[in-house]
Structure 1
Amino acid sequence: MTTPSLPGFTEHRVRVDAGVTLHAAVGGAGSPVVLLHGFPQTHLMWRHVAAGLAADHTVICPDLRGYGASDKPAETGPDVYSKRTMARDVVRLAAALGHDRFTLVGHDRGALVAFRAAMDHPDTVTGALFLDVLPTLDMWDALHGVSGAIGFHLYLMAQAPGLPETMIQSSADTFFAHFLDAWTKRPDAIPAEVRAHYLAASAAAVPSIVADYRASAGVDVDHDTADKEAGNRLAMPVTVLQQDWGAALGYHAQSLWSSWTDDLEHRTVSCGHFMAEEDPRLIADEIRALAAR
């Protein structure tokens, strides 16, 4: 499958682990910013944000391990798709491109990778921006009762290998299209050609996407729990932008995030889940503000 490109960006393939190479688009000049995509997307979700940021930043947009044009190793153990492993990939990618310190931005699944990178590599991540997500440990606590049905896919993909992969592969376009339709307030924010790319890329990556989610019901919880019990906190400036899911699910997002950091900017936004595509100017402005702190 041919990966659409970001105009003006250079495509790279960088080995980050034994048998694992990441695809990344790199452009611009200035202090580095790494942008991590969410589900069910690829680095192309940053096409508008990256174009604006490249005027004054070096912008690195990888496909995460298991997604898009990056390698998709078999899930031979729980650590293969742990957020700790995926975060290490990102740090190694940036280092290979010449950047030992950078501002890190993540959306959805990419935000969970960014959270783990910020926890594990505080001397590398100078600032972290998380888009529309809760830390893994808090996410599971927030899903309860019938309102938790909004996260049905989290429970499906948490099951043992075999069942979720078979179910999703049997109707991959319908499954992934559901989220593109349900989670956006502006359908025109994801044009037909981009939507087709997301669906094709996701259908080709079902086992690795499921493995990513399965890790978040196991080893990722263990890592978050260990940090929480040890009193570990995010050491860098943190910005969080979220929809107002709290009213529906019964939690206070800012309080949950405050338990992980003393330096928090938390704001509720009016756009849908795919906010980098629905309001790219807002997201680019927030990234610039964070990088300048």
Structure 2
Amino acid sequence: MTPTIPGFDHQRIQVADGVALHTAVGGSGSPIVLLHGFPQTHLMWRHVAADLAADHTVICPDLRGYGASDKPADTDRATYAKRTMAADIVALARALGHERFALAGHDRGALVAFRTGLDHPAAITHLACLDVLPTLDMWEVMRGTSAAIGFHLYLMAQPPGLPEQLIAAAPDVFFGHFLDLWAHHPTAIPAHIRAAYLDACREAVPSIVADYRASAGIDVEHDQADRDAGNLLDMPVTVLQQDWGAALGFDAQALWSAWAPELAHTTVNCGHFMAEEAPERVIAELRKLLAR
């Protein structure tokens, strides 16, 4: 049986032609949308969502191409652009009756959240991004041997064919590698949740690769255009990150500050999967953000 977030209703919501997002919704009050990262699904928010649902309407979708959401074929370079995925999230919120909402994302979901904040500022009241850099900055700072930690970024940036075949040949080994490597506290992802993540990824290799391929192409173009135009995130922004900036030779807070004038940047002592490894801290920081 597929795990669920207790007390949440699950539904499929149409957000674009031929694309519906599997979404868990719970609680009542001012809305907040939570976007998952790689190689996960909306289940990564299970602890945080349950707490926030005490006084917020909490909306947890699987991103297009992930989990139980639709996975359109990558026939256009914009199909998995973060701009397209951001439009999905705004459409999702509107379908649920919310013109304005808070938005938090982790990893890939944080890149979608970042793009949503730039493209749809009137819709986003508060923004949180967990353990990621904006796409343009990420590519600019990754270099030398330290970039080996991001080998998957370069693999999935290759033209269609090779990365899909390599990953599909051993999907559990590939996706499981990141679940094992990036978690400082492996017990934070119990066996049944890990199995659900691997099951979902196994069925989504082409769309996951397409998501990453977009981040080496069209997403960079969109970020560069915003940088050139001086566009900024004008809502209160919280960024939570591991202490990996100094280790990789760059100042993550300074990079984020260039995009977000109202930034609160905090280091969290855990692995990459902080909503599962340190949920109490994530909850506390999101509640501080929502009070700003």
What interval of TM-score do these two structures reach, taking the shorter chain for normalisation? over 0.9
* Partner in structure 2 of residue 181 of structure 1: 180
- Cα distance in 2, alignment partners of residues 287 and 101 from structure 1: 17
Residue by residue over 1:13-52, the C-alpha shift from the partner in whole angstroms, topping out at 9 and shown as x without a partner, is: 1100110000100000111010000000000000111011
Instruction: Report if the CA contact (8 A) 1:144-1:249 is conserved.
Output: no
CA distance in 1: counterparts of 2:94 and 2:280, whole angstroms: 28
8 Å CA contact 1:40, 1:202 repeated in 2: yes
TM-score normalised by length of structure 2: 0.99
- Matching of residue 227 in structure 1 with residue 226 in structure 2: yes
Identity of aligned residues (%): 69
Residues 228-264 of structure 1: per-residue CA shift (max 9 Å, x gap): 0000000100000101112221100000001101100
Instruction: Please name the residue that 2:24 is paired with.
Output: 25
Q: What is the distance in 1 between the residues matched to 2:153 and 2:103?
A: 24
> Which sections of structure 2, spanning at least 5 residues, go unmatched?
none
Normalised by the length of structure 1, the TM-score is: 0.99
Aligned residue for 1:97? 96
CA contact (8 A) 1:84 1:113 kept: yes
Which residue number in structure 2 is paired with residue 110 of structure 1?
109
Runs of 4 or more off by more than 2 Å in structure 1? none
SS in 2 for 1:123: helix
The SS at the match of 1:75 is: coil
Q: Distance in 1 between matches of 2:18 and 2:166?
A: 28
**AA of the residue aligned to 2:100:** R
Alignment pair present for 1:12 and 2:11:
yes
CA contact (8 A) 1:111 1:131 kept: yes
One-letter code aligned to 1:258: S
2:85 is matched by which residue type in structure 1?
A: M
How many Å apart are 1:203 and its aligned residue? Answer: 0.8
Say whether the 8 Å CA contact 2:3–2:192 is kept in structure 1. Answer: no
Q: CA deviation at 1:270?
A: 0.5
> In the alignment, which residue of structure 1 is the partner of 2:212?
213
* d(CA) in 2 for partners of 1:47, 1:218: 32
Displacement of 1:291 in angstroms is 1.2
Within 2, Cα distance between the matches of 1:81 and 1:260? 23
Q: Structure 2 CA distance, aligned partners of 1:241 and 1:123?
A: 23
Q: Which ranges in structure 1 are unaligned for 5 or more consecutive residues? A: none
User: Following the alignment from structure 1 to structure 2, what is the Cα–Cα distance between the partners of residues 14 and 287?
Assistant: 25
Q: Give the whole-Å Cα distance in 1 for the aligned partners of 2:72 and 2:161.
A: 16
| Partner SS for 1:103 | strand
Whole-Å separation in 2 of the counterparts to 1:16 and 1:198 = 23
Q: Distance in 1 between matches of 2:130 and 2:164?
A: 27
| Conserved 8 A contact 1:3-1:69 | no
Aligned residue pairs total 292
Is 2:140 aligned against 1:141?
yes
- Superposed displacement of residue 3, structure 1: 4.0
* Aligned-residue RMSD, C-alpha: 0.7
Counterpart residue number, 2:63: 64
The answer to whether structure 1 residue 291 and structure 2 residue 290 are counterparts is yes
Moved more, 146-155 or 280-289: 280-289
Helix, strand or coil: the match of 1:61? Answer: strand
Q: Which residue of 2 aligns with 1:76?
A: 75
1:3/1:68 contact within 8 Å kept: no
